[in-house]
Structure 1
Amino acid sequence: MATIDRILFGDNQFFGVNHMSEEKARQQLVKFKDTSAIIEVLDDAYDMGIRTFMCTTHDRIGEICDHMRAHRDRYKDFVYFPCMPYAHKYANSVSQVGVMETIQRFAAGGVMNTLIRGAVGTLTRDIYALMRLLVDAEMKRFEGLNTPVIFVQNVVTDMLLGLKLYPVFTEFDRYVKERYGAEAGYITMNLPLLLDALAQAGVENPIVCANINKIGFRMSGGVDAYRDLLRTRKCRAIAMSVLASGAIPPEEAIEWACGLEGLQSIVFGASSRGNIRQTQELIHGFWGR
């Protein structure tokens, strides 16, 4: 069973994601246009004792992985939690070059050779094969790095929930365990529905990540439902968007989250050493070290 730290570091700020302010998102894109600026912030977090980087599979993450591999002694305790797929990357590619060219561009190993030999039909017949293809393609950039948990992004998790394709959760759980020695994680905007689905899929004590904040920002089902299920359901829950993209003052937001029975971890993003330190100290203060 994977060990999950109480404090995890996220990457939204590096790639211009802010759900409240387009202007702030634009400013962050400019600030982190060079990968060296991202690495500087990751170094600050690492030097403060934050060891886990929960990251999308954005193209520039590959540059960060290259840097970590080139300085293994410096980052020997660094842990990645990849979150896949990075949907914008695939959507943009499909619109530019089409579905088959996109598959060829991102597929790992000999997948395209198999398709060229006449197995294209498997993409429509076997959703499991497509899932494995995408996982392998995304994991190529993390080769040789410590990835004990691999997450499905909420855009896919919630699509599968809507289509009631719960067996895909079972297969993803099995595949990342057998292929990568990792545990599966699931990001969602609807935690109550996800936990019901994972129970039906036979996924026990799942690792789940969802928006969890005092004002119910992007929490399908509402604050009370989340509070109840965290207290009564067996899962390893990670809270993201605790500050509701800046709508809640940090101290108020973190005090509330740390008071939730059953919450295991908090993931947050920050753009500077001072903001990292402030958030870390608030979590330590309300949760203990």
Structure 2
Amino acid sequence: MTIAAHHADNATGSEPVVLDRLLFGDNQFFGVNHMSEEKARAQAMRFQTTDAIMEVLDIAYDAGVRTFMCTTHERIAEVVARVRAEPERYAGFQFFPCMPYAHKYANAVTDYGMIGALRRFLPDEGLIATAFKGGRAVARKDVEAMVAMLVDAEMSMFSGVSTPVVFLQNVVVDLLLGLGFHEAFAVFARHVKEKYGAEPGFITMNLVRLLDALDEVGIENPIVCSNMNKLEFRMCGGADDYRAALAERRFRAIAMSVFASGALSPREALEWVAESPAIESVVFGASSAAHIRGTCEIAEDVWPTWPATSEAKEAN
């Protein structure tokens, strides 16, 4: 089954999206490193051009990685445009958008003011109609309409490419958890499914609490991305709670920070992950060909079924 056909089936809810074992992240492209500010600055300098980003994505693609789990940073629009323009070169490539990119909104408010920032991020489906919709949402406290408007604004850059899973970023997920506003998760999930034929995903720094909230609002077997690694690096609540959740709760787990920001070797990290069959995927970031190819080779060794698709396997 092609990704396009699978995406269409998912719109009807007939079957879940198949997650690849390895998902490629974008932290390294935008100067995010949880252990070293110096490395973060060096990476930010290196990836100032789209060509530099595409060079690394090409290495990952040629190594068999087919999924790019990315923020909605403005630069990603340029990456999407490159992929959209070369469908044969990037056959089977898909994006997992993660929204919102909080710094983008904060910077826009600083540069353009509140109203100017809203206008800047309205989707291209009619400025007046969308603005009116947003105005009614504020006046009536219509959360569903406001969420839909903001998601549509973020998703506009991904027109014409495959986006089978759309994630809500942890900066919002964990804020909503703290506020107890769990219904917002259901609002997000409904809109993503109905408008984009995609499955909703959630990124969190508090796995167990999020699973409780999603159960409360009726989201079954959710896709959840959270820190999971051998060293318990940034694992809120500790490894015991995570092991219990993986063993007892029904959700589709994506592990991030598996290398503990460089404290673990790829083999040691992935062997630990492979011990838990409940973890379906790992999202990792890398900027060197050796690291990317080495990680893919290790993944194939410890997870015999990776890559998930026969098309990706044949491409190698």
Query: If the TM-score is normalised by the length of the shorter chain, which range does it land in?
Result: over 0.9
Corresponding position: 1:8 with 2:23: yes
Give, in whole Å, the separation in 2 of the partners of 1:265 and 1:80: 15
**AA matched with 2:204:** T
Corresponding residue for 2:47?
32
Partners of 1:150 and 1:185 within 8 A in 2: yes
Pairing partner for 2:212 from 192, 196, 199: 196
Corresponding position: 1:99 with 2:99: no
Corresponding residue for 1:70?
85
Pairing partner for 2:71 from 52, 56, 77: 56
Deviation (angstroms), 1:123: 2.4
- After superposition, give the CA deviation of every residue in 1:188-243 in whole Å (9 maximum; x if it has no partner): 00000010100001000000001111122111111111011011111110001101
**AA matched with 1:74:** R
* 3-state DSSP of counterpart to 2:261: coil
Tell me: CA distance 1:255–1:28, structure 2 relative to 1, closer, same or farther (3 Å): same
TM-score in terms of structure 2 length: 0.88
Give, in whole Å, the separation in 1 of the partners of 2:125 and 2:45: 38
Pairing partner for 2:283 from 255, 259, 267: 267
Give, in whole Å, the separation in 2 of the partners of 1:206 and 1:44: 31
Give, in whole Å, the separation in 2 of the partners of 1:65 and 1:121: 32
Corresponding position: 1:287 with 2:312: no
- After superposition, give the CA deviation of every residue in 1:25-57 in whole Å (9 maximum; x if it has no partner): 111111111111111111111111110110111
Corresponding residue for 2:309?
none
Tell me: CA distance 1:225–1:163, structure 2 relative to 1, closer, same or farther (3 Å): same
Tell me: CA distance 1:103–1:281, structure 2 relative to 1, closer, same or farther (3 Å): same
Corresponding position: 1:212 with 2:232: no
Deviation (angstroms), 1:151: 0.3
Tell me: CA distance 1:38–1:117, structure 2 relative to 1, closer, same or farther (3 Å): closer
Corresponding position: 1:46 with 2:61: yes
Deviation (angstroms), 1:75: 1.0
Deviation (angstroms), 1:248: 2.1
* 3-state DSSP of counterpart to 2:17: coil
Partners of 1:7 and 1:266 within 8 A in 2: yes
Corresponding residue for 1:150?
166
**AA matched with 1:247:** A
Pairing partner for 1:20 from 35, 38, 60: 35
Deviation (angstroms), 1:251: 2.2
Give, in whole Å, the separation in 2 of the partners of 1:258 and 1:39: 29
Partners of 1:231 and 1:261 within 8 A in 2: no
* 3-state DSSP of counterpart to 1:187: strand
Partners of 2:134 and 2:145 within 8 A in 1: no
- After superposition, give the CA deviation of every residue in 1:238-258 in whole Å (9 maximum; x if it has no partner): 001101111223222221122
**AA matched with 1:58:** H
Q: Which runs of 5+ in 1 are unaligned?
A: none
Partners of 1:111 and 1:133 within 8 A in 2: no
